Structure 1
């Protein structure tokens, strides 16, 4: 299902990033790029197009990935924001933007990725 899709994953918590990125690879994404800093995600997405972006919202000690996510969504990337602030999720969800409550299970993540891939 995800064989030809490219995903960029931004997460600044190393253990969460490791577990989730392994799951993304096991799901069979064609390409998985993992970054832990917002500026790295910005640089990577300037250089390459991605089908899906999975972004932790609060990263780098006070920065957020919201602006970058909205930019990517406007270019056709399906964006999944993840955060423990579920009220924020109701505000930002839209056609190309989905929200995943943290902490999330790998089953919940897989379901959200399927939803993103089919929209």
Structure 2
């Protein structure tokens, strides 16, 4: 029974990894591609690792360490890539309504210039 549950978790993780790859192809600009690739691939990787942990309980400690690094590095690296893309002026999709980073930078400039 545990092998079946582990296999289902791995299959569910593979589905999320597939959806991350599909998101990279379908999204209109670099920022939404980074978002789609990071969120879905993090969840997919964690589900695969949980499935492997259920399927092979003796690997659990090593898989927990790998899961920790996935949870720490995926969001941080996508944030760094997004900030770098914004800093060099990578264009956003035409449907983008709000640029919160630009708004925050303008507010900082206004506060700095007033004092």
TM over 0.5: no
TM-score if structure 2 supplies the norm length? 0.28
Bigger helix share: 2
TM-score if structure 1 supplies the norm length? 0.27
Larger Rg: 2
Bigger strand share: 1
